[in-house]
Amino acid sequence: MFKSVLVANRGEIACRVFRTAKRMGLRTIAVYSEADAGALHVREADEAVLIGPAAARESYLDATKVLAAAKATGAEAIHPGYGFLSENADFAEAVAAAGLIWIGPDPSSIRAMGLKDAAKQLMIEAGVPVTPGYQGADQSEATLTAEAARIGYPVLIKAVAGGGGKGMKRVDDPADFAAGLASAKREGAAAFGDDRVLIERYITRPRHIEVQVFGDRHGNVVHLYERDCSLQRRHQKVIEEAPAPGMSEAVRAAVTGAAIKAARAVNYVGAGTIEFIADASDGLKADGVWFMEMNTRLQVEHPVTESVTGVDLVEWQFRVAAGEPIPLKQDEVQLNGWAMEARLYAEDPANGFLPSIGRLEHFVMPDDIRVDTGVEQGGEVSQFYDPMIAKLIVHEDTREAAAARLAEAAGEVEVWPVKANAGFLKRCLEHPRFVAGDVDTGFIAAEEAALRPRPSDEATLAALTLIAEATTEAAEAPSDRFSPWGGQPGLSYGVRLNGPPQTTVWAHVDGQGVSAAVTPIETGWLGGSGERAHAGFDQVQAGDRVFGYQTVDDGFVVFVDGEARRVAPYRAAVGSGAAAASDGSLRAPMPGKIVAAPVKAGDAVTKGQPVVVLEAMKMEHALTAPFDGLVESVAGLGDQVVEAAVLAVVRAR
């Protein structure tokens, strides 16, 4: 076994690999960009090397700098994590050429499976069922348009070198094919340096099922059962689980058998994932599951497989890379219980899931489940990298218990002032369809209304009552409409717990004027303590519920059910902010680059029509016309813009 390992990555996956490496007594080495100088993975490593500016292409994607860091620190092995250089065959070859151990598959396997079109052809030859589609060399728009018509709409356009939902576009109408193709090509070129695409038939009720495989240099290949990753948004996974709901032994045998065939077809070594698409229109069937692609690396969702098998997949990676055989034979890999993982993103579900950046002034995670993260309180969520900030993982005896515990854990998340999707995760996990296992990749879009952020409820307002009680003097405030917590004459400044059984509480919650009759619960005042005491945060308890909060300006931030709710005193004449939303100015939600401007100054546009496309945090974000009108101005193609910059102005006709 080697004695030291450099992780050519950052954030959560770097911390995850270090955890196993330290348990095994290995020296750990981190690399970092200027933006990550204070990052958690840098501090957790035994040694760390600065490799360049914030931009990934000048740091984490620069193979020469990574190899120089390995040489300078005496690293014996390199673990690539996921993303960045993890599926770069040239980098794998360079690692071996430098006399280092590459913790991953052979470069030939990466190349064979790295391009989706070539991989599909290889799988056809190996007898693995594949999704009907086109993966030919002719990339002309005319040919691709004709092939899409032959396959039949809806179709899925996919960058051949893609992954993580980048360079992937669903097209339902032939009239939209050209625009979808152009966008997929742009994203493919920007993310992977390759604008080629393939086209597949879009399965109308698809489920995403994948199989964890592992191979070694002694001819052994095993599977570690399946995961279901069907709960997705914009082709990016949100919640993953193992095993897959509704999986019969016959279908499991078919899909795991196909996965073993796929791995053997490329002489696979190390951890890999074979991804399948299943038609869920009439339950899972052995002849209704098709190969999509192979990820020749460790997956983001690997913890759910670890939970149900009891295997440390990173340890297996180390041992296989060192030349050892796989520690278990196939019949020794057991499936126990049910595991679920939710991806906590720095994004705003109330604003189209736009990524959120900034300092994590308050960051509290559940303390009795597995949490994999690469950030901590006081850290930064950067504009330069993926917005995932943590993974919440639970393992229970049954699926129902796992979903309930993960929903509870999501509700315990406290993040401020960066926006996070914890409340959205909780609503997904508690939705009756999800609880019943009735999930496909269109679930989130279909249930959008039920999954939106909810208006203020009794729980929030009860928390306000308690906070007001605990933080104010007994004296009464002036009995007018500007009383901080009262909307009626004579209501005391702090709503007294020995007052009437019910009290009407008035406040502005997230800018909306609300009121409700609440009954104060027998309480225990906790004050500032533990992690929540950082940065001025305190907490109150109502019955068995604990609410974290912070005083900000003239109000509070209250954490309830995974949401950070901004609460201000009730004012009778608070503006709605509608003018700012209706002046026709389209502002950048975050720093980024203008990659497309479908319209020009003077063009007429209709409400919802794309006006300008911003690339930020590895994804494209289309800003649309807020109403019918004429384009007065639009930013230039290629412009780098800062947050809140005016990108276009539309004037009403």
Instruction: For residue range 280-306, list pLDDT tens digits in order.
Output: 888 999 999 999 999 999 999 999 999
- Name which of 33-37, 76-80, 200-204, 536-540 the model is least confident about: 536-540
Query: In this model, does residue 142 exceed pLDDT 80?
Result: yes
> How many CA atoms are closer than 13 Å to the CA of 405, on its beta-carbon side?
20
Catalytic-labelled residue, pool 297, 399, 405, 427 = 297
Per-residue pLDDT at 351: 85
**What does the pLDDT read at residue 574?**
33
Phi-psi category of 141—alpha, beta or left, where left has phi over 0 and alpha has psi -120 to 50?
alpha
pLDDT of 605: 93
pLDDT category at 507 given cuts 50, 70, 90 is: low
pLDDT score for 290: 94
Give the pTM: 0.78
| CA–CA separation, 226 and 299 (whole Å) | 13
Element (H, E) at 213: strand 206-215
Task: Tell me how far apart the terminal alpha carbons of the chain are, to the nearest angstrom.
Answer: 71
Model confidence at 483, in pLDDT bands (50, 70, 90)?
A: very low
Nearest by Cα to 340 from 418, 231, 438, 190: 231
Residue 523 — pLDDT band, cuts 50, 70, 90? very low
Residue 623's φ and ψ, nearest 5 degrees, are -95, 125
Letter for the amino acid at 441? T
**DSSP letter (8 states) at residue 455:** P
Query: In Å, what is the CA distance from 288 to each residue of 30, 255, 283?
Result: 44, 10, 9
Contact assessment for residue 608 and residue 352, using Cβ atoms and an 8 Å cutoff: no
Q: Could you tell me what percent of the chain has a pLDDT over 70?
A: 81
Structural contact between residues 108 and 39, judged by C-beta atoms closer than 8 angstroms:
no
Give pLDDT, residue 350: 85
- State pLDDT tens for residues 594-632: 998 899 999 999 988 999 988 875 567 788 888 899 999
463 has a pLDDT exceeding 50:
yes
Look at residues 372, 373, 370 and name the one whose alpha carbon lies nearest to residue 395: 370
H or E element in which residue 254 lies: helix 249-265
- The CB-side HSE value for 211 (13 A sphere, CA atoms) comes to 29
Give the count of alpha carbons within 13 A of 44, CB side only.
23
Q: How confident is the model at residue 577 (pLDDT cuts 50, 70, 90)?
A: very low
Categorize the per-residue pLDDT at 37 as very low, low, confident or very high, splitting at 50, 70 and 90. very high
**pLDDT-derived band of residue 429, with 50, 70 and 90 as boundaries?**
very high
Q: Is the pLDDT of residue 457 over 80?
A: no
Q: Mark out the alpha helices in 361-398 (DSSP H runs).
A: none
Q: What's the mean pLDDT when you consider all of the chain?
A: 85
> Which pLDDT band, with edges at 50, 70 and 90, does 492 fall under?
very low
- Which amino acid does the sequence have at 175? A
Q: What is the pLDDT of residue 26?
A: 98
23 is catalytic: no
CA distances from residue 298 to 44, 45, 96 in whole angstroms, order as listed: 21, 20, 19
Q: Is 117 helix (H, G, I), strand (E, B) or coil?
A: helix
**pLDDT computed for residue 553 by the predictor:** 62
Written as six digits, the tokens of 505 are 């509480």
Say if residue 576's pLDDT is above 70.
Answer: no
Given a cut of 80, whether residue 554 has pLDDT beyond it is no
- pLDDT band per the 50, 70, 90 thresholds, residue 311: very high
DSSP classification of residue 245: T
pLDDT value at position 569? 59
pLDDT-derived band at 452, boundaries 50, 70, 90:
confident
**Cα dist from 299 to 125, 144, 306, 619, whole Å:** 26, 31, 11, 20
